[in-house]
């Protein structure tokens, strides 16, 4: 331990604002020490050291708390910004929402086999459900005409295998590629594992129950332009992610029974990633940056999530579309609502 420099220590003590010391006992001791005209004893020097250490410790704790609250406040601002951005986009585009949202699901291949929740999701309040071709056509009429899926048979352009031999999390953590959690739904050329399912991309641009009109777009490494193929194997129902965290948390209105009880609203959950037309700068109403949620691990999906009201459940837990879709709210990457995130900002809730 270095020997204390008495002169420097005395100078630092003389510059302390006694009234700024919040502890009354320490403040009185410091005042008495300053009032003396003689030199300091060793005991008095130790008291000074203690005062300086206390002030430094208090400042460090205060700064840590400030940093956490600032991050929570920034997340709330981002949620407001995206909520307004999606609604503004719809107004400017004559009632059409942005498309190309992330499905929050991963599948084995471009045939959407064995759908499951994305393994790197931090949110727990979602489950897999399916919608039919007729129901897809209702979503497409308001602009929700395509979703992105993580396909485990894809390979990022730089390096890596999206499949089960490495796992998506291991792929993200690898130092041999440019894959990051927020871009995992981009195609191979975007250093992701994504494919896009377009509901209106068939040859005659017609979407009916007999002609589902799926167009599978997957951009293989080095492919230019993107390789596309009509998804003849995709005549089955399409997997989607459904919010199961309760209606009251996102609307303020409680619904009886389980989330899929008869008459309850169906809340579709989609990630707001960079592949969405919401962030196409050349489109009317396009936003300029993709917000990132920072309160998750570096290998977890770090985008915010949009919740949509798309219909109701019948008595058998099947989805009945409501004729249109409406944006309900935005939740963060961990599934927290704006009000819950505000609890982190004001210190009444700590989940950081």
Mean pLDDT across 166-170: 87
> Which distant-in-sequence residues (6+ apart) come within 8 Å of 142 by Cβ?
95, 96, 97, 324, 325
pLDDT at 112 over 90: no
Both structure tokens of 292: 């990132």
Minimum mean pLDDT among 60-69, 261-270, 324-333: which range? 60-69
Mean of per-residue pLDDT scores for the chain: 82
Which has more confidence, 49 or 222?
A: 49
Which has more confidence, 221 or 54?
A: 54
Q: How many other CB atoms are found less than 10 A from the CB of residue 86?
A: 21
Q: What is the pLDDT of residue 273?
A: 95
pTM of the model: 0.77
pLDDT bucket at 255, cuts 50 / 70 / 90: very high
d(CA 152, CA 162): 5
Burial of 313 from C-beta contacts in 10 A (0-12 / 13-18 / 19+): buried
Distances (CA, A) of 339 to 75, 76, 252, 279, 352: 11, 9, 11, 25, 15
- Which of 176-180, 271-275, 283-287 is most confident? 271-275
Which has more confidence, 221 or 204?
A: 221
Span 127-139, pLDDT tens digits: 999 988 778 778 8
């Amino acid at each position: 331990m270095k020997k204390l420099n008495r002169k420097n220590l005395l100078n630092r003590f003389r510059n302390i604002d006694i009234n700024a010391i919040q502890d009354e006992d320490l403040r009185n001791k410091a005042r008495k020490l300053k009032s003396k005209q003689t030199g300091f004893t060793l005991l008095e020097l130790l008291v000074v050291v203690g005062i300086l250490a206390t002030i430094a410790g208090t400042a460090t704790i205060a700064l840590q708390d400030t940093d956490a609250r600032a991050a929570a406040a920034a997340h709330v601002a981002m949620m407001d910004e995206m909520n307004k951005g999606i609604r503004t986009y719809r107004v400017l585009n004559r009632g059409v929402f942005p498309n190309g949202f992330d499905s929050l699901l991963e599948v084995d291949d471009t045939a959407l086999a064995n759908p499951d929740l994305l393994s790197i999701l931090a949110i727990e309040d979602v489950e897999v459900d399916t919608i039919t071709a007729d129901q897809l056509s209702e979503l497409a009429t308001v602009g929700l005409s395509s979703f992105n899926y993580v396909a485990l048979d894809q390979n990022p352009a730089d390096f890596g295998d999206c499949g089960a031999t490495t796992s998506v999390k291991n792929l993200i953590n690898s130092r041999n590629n440019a894959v990051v959690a927020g871009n995992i739904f981009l195609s191979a050329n975007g250093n992701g594992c994504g494919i896009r399912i377009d509901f209106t991309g068939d040859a005659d641009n017609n979407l009916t129950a007999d002609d589902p009109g799926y167009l599978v777009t997957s951009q293989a490494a080095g492919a230019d332009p993107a390789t596309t193929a009509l998804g003849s194997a995709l005549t089955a129902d399409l997997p989607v992610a459904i919010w199961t965290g309760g209606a009251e948390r996102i609307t303020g209105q409680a619904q009886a029974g389980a989330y899929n009880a008869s008459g309850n609203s169906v809340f579709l959950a989609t990630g707001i990633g960079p592949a969405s037309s919401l962030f196409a700068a050349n489109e009317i109403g396009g936003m300029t940056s993709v917000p990132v949620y920072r309160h998750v691990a570096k290998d977890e999906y770090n985008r915010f999530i949009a919740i949509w009201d798309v219909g109701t459940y019948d008595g058998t837990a099947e989805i009945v579309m409501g004729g249109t879709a409406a944006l309900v709210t935005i939740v963060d990457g961990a599934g927290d609502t704006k009000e819950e995130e505000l609890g982190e900002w004001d210190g009444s809730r700590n989940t950081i």
